[in-house]
Amino acid sequence: MQAVLPGMRDRKSGTIVNISSISGLRALPCGSIYAASKHALEGTSESLAQEIAPFNIRILIVEPGAFCTNFLGQDATWYQPLRNEYRGTLVDSVLDRLRRSDGKQQGDPEKGAERIYEVVMGEGMAKGRPEYLRLPLGAEGLKNARAKANQLMETFDALEDIALSTSFEED
């Protein structure tokens, strides 16, 4: 981003596409380091998008769910042996599901790439739509993004009184 921004600012146009993951919004057990990197990319993108908007530059954060790539393949992913205390836990079931999902993910990478291109260019399915910061992709990705948004709203609503109780008292 640092390398391309000077030219984009000079031209007063451009789009930066950052490939995140739905884990950038809703982390799974067993993926804390991966999720942390995606959360960082999301935060950086969200902040920078506001800074560069006056230069007619936008950032698009792509948040794919499960796409049929080699991401979960044996040569691409390395799993540490499961510690005994995690056997039979959520961690065990998530790791098992990830291993069994390799090659069976619902998302079509070619269609995903087409949608990204269309959103960047304002063509195809994106024609006539406003520009958004985030682009969730895939049924699973959208489902998890909505679940995260609902979880946040539930938490905010439930704790509103506590949040609002921290202001200085007015005389």
pLDDT band at 55 (very low <50, low <70, confident <90, very high): very high
Look-up of token digits 């908007």? 53
The pLDDT of residue 90 is 73
SS3 at position 24 = helix
Longest dimension (CA), the chain: 65
Predicted pLDDT of residue 89: 76
CA 147 to CA 132: how far, in whole Å?
Answer: 19
Q: H or E element: which one contains 75? A: none
pTM: 0.79
pLDDT at position 101 is: 65
Of residues 19 and 97, more confidently modeled: 19
Inform me whether the pLDDT recorded for 72 exceeds 60: no
Better pLDDT: 85 or 92 = 85
Those residues with Cβ within 8 angstroms of residue 30's Cβ, 6 or more apart along the chain or in another chain: 91, 94, 95, 98
Model pLDDT, residue 105: 65
Of 32, 35, 41, 37, which Cα lies nearest the Cα of 62? 41
Instruction: State the Cα torsion 93-66-36-59 to the nearest 10°.
Output: -170
pLDDT at residue 83 in the model: 76
Active site residues: 34
